[in-house]
Amino acid sequence: MDSVLEKITEQIVNDPRSGQSLLLFALLATLNVEKTGHMYMLSKLKEFTPENRQLAYAVIELMAENKIGDENWHKAYATMEEAIRG
């Protein structure tokens, strides 16, 4: 599993109620709505495990590369959202 979206999707699908999964999904949900100005409290990064903080940084890099909202993003986000909503 190579892509950050695949890694995050796997984590959320495997344990959608964990604090780490919810933190990651909150970051993606914020980035998914451009009108929010991508408002995410950076202090939340302290709550991530070191491994998940690296995933969060990689997601921020996707945003910087304008890859938020492409086909891969929407597919992964839909899978994650379904897992979170149960």
* Sign of the alpha-carbon dihedral angle for 55, 60, 30, 80: negative
Helix (H, G, I), strand (E, B) or coil at 78: helix
pLDDT, tens only, 30-81: 888 766 666 667 788 889 999 999 999 999 898 888 888 888 899 999 999 9
Its domain, for residue 56, covers: 4-85
Residues 80, 28 contacting (CB under 8 angstroms): yes
Supply the pLDDT for residue 39.
Answer: 63
Q: Whole-angstrom Cα distance, residue 84 to residue 24? A: 11
- As a whole number, mean pLDDT of residues 18-26 equals 94
pLDDT at 10: 97
What is the count of structural domains for the chain? Answer: 1
Tokens of 66: 């304008």
pLDDT of residue 21 exceeding 50, the answer is: yes
- Mean pLDDT of the 13-17 span: 97
d(CA 33, CA 44): 18
**pLDDT tier at 13 (50, 70, 90 boundaries)?**
very high
